[in-house]
Chains A and B, each alone.
Chain A
Amino acid sequence: GAGVSQSPRYKVTKRGQDVALRCDPISGHVSLYWYRQALGQGPEFLTYFNYEAQQDKSGLPNDRFSAERPEGSISTLTIQRTEQRDSAMYRCASSLRRTQETQYFGPGTRLLVL
Chain B
Amino acid sequence: GENVEQHPSTLSVQEGDSAVIKCTYSDSASNYFPWYKQELGKRPQLIIDIRSNVGEKKDQRIAVTLNKTAKHFSLHITETQPEDSAVYFCAASPNTGNQFYFGTGTSLTVIP
A-B contact count (CB 8 A): 58
Give CA–CA (A43, B89) in the complex, Å.
Answer: 9
User: Chain A residues with Cβ under 8 A from B78's Cβ?
Assistant: none
Select which of A42, A58, A99, A107 is within 8 A of B43 by beta carbon.
A107
Of A41, A45, A99, most buried by chain B (CB within 10 Å of CB) is A45
Q: Which positions 48-77 of chain A face chain B at CB distance < 8 Å? A: 48, 55-56, 58-59
Give CA–CA (A91, B51) in the complex, Å.
Answer: 24
User: Chain A residues with Cβ under 8 A from B4's Cβ?
Assistant: 42
Tell me, yes or no, whether B104 is within 8 Å of chain A by CB.
yes
Closest chain A CB from B87 CB (angstroms): 8
Nearest 10 Cβ contacts at the A-B interface: A42-B102, A100-B32, A105-B43, A100-B93, A42-B89, A100-B98, A45-B99, A102-B46, A43-B102, A105-B44
Residues of A within 8 A of B (CB): 31, 33, 35, 40-45, 48, 55-56, 58-59, 91, 95, 98-103, 105-108
Beyond A59-B99, A100-B51, A102-B49, 10 additional contacts (C-beta under 8 Å) are: A33-B100, A42-B105, A44-B102, A45-B100, A45-B102, A56-B99, A91-B43, A100-B31, A103-B46, A105-B44
